Chain A
Amino acid sequence: MVNLTIDDKKLTVEEGTTILNAALQNGIDIPHLCYHPNLKIRGTCRICLVEIEGMRKLETACSTIVKDGMEVHTRSERVEKARRGVIEFLLINHPLNCPVCDQAGDCDLQRYSRRYGREHSRYGEDKRDFPKHDIGGGLIRNMNLCIACTRCVRFARDILGIEEYGIFFRGNDQQVGIYQGGELKNAMQGCMVDVCPVGALTSKDFRFKKRVWFLDPKPSVCQRCATGCNTFIEVEDNVIYRISPRENQDVNDIWMCDIGRMTYHDMDDVEPVTFPMMKSGDQFFELSWERALEELASEIRERGEKGGFALVIGTGASVEDMASALLAADGNIGEERITFVTRVEDITKEKAAGNFLISEDFSPNTAGAKKLGISDKVKKIEDGINSKDITGILFLGCEIFEAGLPDALDLKKVKFTAVITDRLTTEIKKSAEIVIPAPHWSRKSGTFINSKGILQRIEAAVKPQMGVIPLTKVFADLAAAIDKTSADYDSFYKEVEKRVG
């Protein structure tokens, strides 16, 4: 441990800590722009300069390691003048058009300008105007706003290890970007936007959709793959405007991939399911929850008796969803008739584009299924279908259909198919007799276990839609319908909790 004082405050910090981190850990704010906790330290913006007793020059707090007995001043007149100088330098070429800039409210330069900027600029020359140059990909680059902190470059170079993006030209003509005619191809472009402290890089998907101060960031976990990146789902009035990464050193540091970031568009062009439905001829018609569950229960009861009913669990189910499904199946669907379907994808392309997070297991809860003892028995189910032993199937989750059913499962041979889903796809329309609504992933709570075995609990970010109820309740009602009793939620949930552990 090292003892030092910052602004007369006595502090003890761990050896090897920088002055900046020592200050931040102790609630002392030292302005910083080029410093980013997850990127290599470059010490170039020079706004973090501080005065250290015994040192002739001001030193950068972001790069200077603390020493025992060090006396640091972060508010002296010398320091403040240097800061005002840096801000003035950064602003001479900056358009300062915060009112029409998408970064406003989330911009370090704006924040520091208020503190250290002058009321009137002393700069009487022309501002520089960079030529427009589309660098492709999912972001918009506006070099006139760039403060040359190189965070984006360090992310691309050091974190992604991709050389497509760099600094061009020298001095005041310096630009960040990609060679002429090239196109940004990496799969983590959202992170470049995240690390940019100003509005020089903005996301095509998000820009000008919403002022950031209206957004409520709800902690969540990405459910696109088994990595389970921690996220914020940013909402206003129950509408999702963007997904951004949330720090978790054990899972995703502070990054997430663009595939995960875009998942919130998954309902854009699909038909949501908000009430139970049953097929008659080619048409689905709405029916009450009671009727729907009774119909389903009787199918399970009758076909299950002879071992003719199967339960296929897809990727989106939480541990609680699965546990309650198992509970409802107890005594009605045999263990060898219950399977989990993982979705394994070839991710060579994603990896090549710098996606160092994504897992080839595209289901967020394979480990959760395993914990509950549900394994992949697709082969057995296939045999059962082919031998006509299985005559009915309940699918939990629609992803199985989206990804293309496992070839083995030939639903034409199955007499009765039911699907619990948040959306109606062509495949489901073709195969299902009964459709039961499930809440969208952003609208439900539950536990997921990622590929590293880390258990992550998620709360709903958006309110459920009218008529859609949590799956634990659906299965409690289904269990009661199968047994022809009335549902006892308390003991059902207790049993679910016991299984979840």
Chain B
Amino acid sequence: MTESVLLSRVELEDSHTLTVYEKNGGYEALKKVLGKVDPEELVEEVKSSRLRGRGGAGFPAGVKWGFVDKNSPKPKYLACNADEGEPGTFKDRLLIIKDPHQLIEGIIISSYAIGVATAFIYIRGEYHNEADILEGAIDEAYKAGYLGKNILGRGFSLELILHRGAGSYVCGDETALMESIEGHRGNPRLKPPFPAAVGLYEGPTVINNVETLSAVPYIVNKGADAYTAVGTKESAGTKLFCVSGNVNKPGVYELPLGFPMKKLIYEVCGGISGGRKLKGVIPGGSSTPILLPEEIEDLELAYESSKPGGFMLGSGAVIVIDERWCMVKIAARLAKFYAHESCGQCTPCREGTTWTYKILKRIEEGNGRKGDPELLLDIQDNILGKTLCPLGDAAAMPIIAIVEKFREEFDRHIEEARCPF
């Protein structure tokens, strides 16, 4: 297997401590570049590493950094997105628990590259333990002079603030996240302006996922070439995949991008539990449309394989579903989540998600009506692409896929007036 970019220290005892981190190459990248390499050169290096955002959308990190106006009269900010709200996703917490200093080092280097003096980590409210570990690591970094004024005596200063969320999925959206940091209700903001132009406290802001920023020290240490040596042409490097559901060995795996989905399920994860048949795979977190077994046949886990409505790499959360499961029930469960998490400010999402959930619940309980599947699809069409933030799409896409791909299960529920499973 290829060299580990992100998880090289996770097996070490006390890997979360500064001592262990420093002993194993920690903060070397920072020492190498801080005050020595021109920030713009660093941005170029990350651009040529072709590192893409790991939060879900896969936007090239270096390009995003490049959008920030270097001469902005307003302070610039970096916010690390540690909200990890996408159901099925549990990779960022591993990076936080096992290697918080790798993330902190990535944040310092990125801040230096972008010209940021204040950075935030926005961590989801449910991550108590993770927040404690990060808090401890941040304290250590301050004490050791990696954070605060005049870092390493090289004239660069950075304040890093850990901000805890209050339990809301939508706060993982970059604009809602900023609202939340500013102390407002976590409603997504209208775009444009984009955060790189007008973000936190109206200053230009870069938001990157934990995994994205954790890859930065490696890229700086080993160079962009080493990073692009792994992965595919459009998807450089490795990615963390969180596999859950009916596999023998669920967990977080670091794999080169372009890795075959089948191999991930059947080899890396030891196949379907109990030797049962595969029914479907949710490939990239709950917002991505479900795939049928035949659709994963030659599927490579890479950004370029993604297409709207089809396979989406998303956050890399692979949920494996075996033959025993009722797809109406799964759809209802997903719909309940999105209805509960809709911030409620825009009409199609607020009303559409709740209506969708009510219908699905009714069908699952045996009270389905003729025409319900068509109605469900039409409601999703009235949500899709019409909401203020992408949560609406995230809610609609999986429902469309399930209704279309498992239509006969819906019809059986309605005809038999009960759940046949």
A88 to B385, CA, bound (A): 17
Instruction: Report whether A46 and B386 are in contact in the complex, using a CB–CB cutoff of 8 Å.
Output: yes
A195 to B419, CA, bound (A): 48
Of the candidate stretches A168-176, A211-219, A272-280, the one touching chain B is A168-176
> For residue B342, which residues in chain A have a CB less than 8 angstroms away from its CB?
170-172
Return the CB mask of A35-68 against B: 1 if under 8 Å, else 0: 0000001111111010000001110100100000
Instruction: Report whether B353 and A47 are in contact in the complex, using a CB–CB cutoff of 8 Å.
Output: no
| In the complex, residue of chain A having the shortest beta-carbon distance to the beta carbon of B384 | A57
Instruction: Report whether B347 and A174 are in contact in the complex, using a CB–CB cutoff of 8 Å.
Output: no
> For residue A125, which residues in chain B have a CB less than 8 angstroms away from its CB?
355, 358-359, 362
Q: Which of B346, B351, B386 has the most CB of A within 10 A?
A: B351
Q: How far is the CB of B272 from chain A (nearest CB, A)?
A: 35
Return the CB mask of B345-387 against A: 1 if under 8 Å, else 0: 1111011111100110010000001000001000001100111
Q: How far is the CB of B180 from chain A (nearest CB, A)?
A: 13
> For residue A104, which residues in chain B have a CB less than 8 angstroms away from its CB?
none
Instruction: Report whether A170 and B387 are in contact in the complex, using a CB–CB cutoff of 8 Å.
Output: no
* B388 at interface by CB-CB < 8 Å: yes
A86 to B351, CA, bound (A): 9
Of the candidate stretches A89-97, A130-138, A294-302, the one touching chain B is A89-97
* B341 at interface by CB-CB < 8 Å: yes
> Which residues in window 174-217 of B have CB below 8 A to A?
185, 190
Q: How far is the CB of B344 from chain A (nearest CB, A)?
A: 4
Instruction: Report whether B350 and A82 are in contact in the complex, using a CB–CB cutoff of 8 Å.
Output: no
Tally B residues with Cβ within 8 Å of A. Answer: 30
A335 to B244, CA, bound (A): 94
Instruction: Report whether A174 and B344 are in contact in the complex, using a CB–CB cutoff of 8 Å.
Output: yes
Partner of B347, one of A57, A81, A90: A90
Q: How far is the CB of A108 from chain B (nearest CB, A)?
A: 13
Instruction: Report whether B341 and A122 are in contact in the complex, using a CB–CB cutoff of 8 Å.
Output: no
| In the complex, residue of chain B having the shortest beta-carbon distance to the beta carbon of A166 | B185
> For residue A174, which residues in chain B have a CB less than 8 angstroms away from its CB?
344-345, 350
Instruction: Report whether A170 and B344 are in contact in the complex, using a CB–CB cutoff of 8 Å.
Output: yes
Partner of A57, one of B168, B344, B381, B385: B385
Instruction: Report whether A58 and B388 are in contact in the complex, using a CB–CB cutoff of 8 Å.
Output: no
Partner of A58, one of B168, B351, B352, B386: B386
* B339 at interface by CB-CB < 8 Å: yes
| In the complex, residue of chain A having the shortest beta-carbon distance to the beta carbon of B383 | A85
Instruction: Report whether A89 and B382 are in contact in the complex, using a CB–CB cutoff of 8 Å.
Output: yes
Q: How far is the CB of B191 from chain A (nearest CB, A)?
A: 9
Instruction: Report whether A93 and B343 are in contact in the complex, using a CB–CB cutoff of 8 Å.
Output: no
Instruction: Report whether A171 and B347 are in contact in the complex, using a CB–CB cutoff of 8 Å.
Output: no
| In the complex, residue of chain B having the shortest beta-carbon distance to the beta carbon of A125 | B358
Instruction: Report whether A172 and B190 are in contact in the complex, using a CB–CB cutoff of 8 Å.
Output: no
Partner of B386, one of A82, A123, A169, A171: A82
Instruction: Report whether B347 and A45 are in contact in the complex, using a CB–CB cutoff of 8 Å.
Output: yes
* A167 at interface by CB-CB < 8 Å: yes
Q: Which of A92, A124, A174 has the most CB of B within 10 A?
A: A124
- Known interface pairs A85-B382, A85-B386, A172-B339. Does A44 touch B355 (Cβ–Cβ under 8 Å)? no
A123 to B358, CA, bound (A): 10
Residues of A at under 8 Å CB distance from B? Answer: 41-47, 49, 56-58, 60, 63, 81-82, 85-86, 88-90, 92-93, 122-125, 147-148, 150, 166-167, 169-174
A88-B382, A90-B351, A171-B341 are known; give 14 further A-B pairs, CB within 8 A. Answer: A44-B345, A47-B347, A49-B386, A57-B385, A58-B386, A86-B348, A89-B352, A89-B355, A125-B362, A170-B342, A172-B339, A172-B350, A172-B351, A172-B353
Shortest Cβ-Cβ A-B pairs, 9 listed: A85-B382, A89-B351, A174-B344, A171-B342, A172-B354, A171-B344, A125-B358, A43-B190, A44-B345
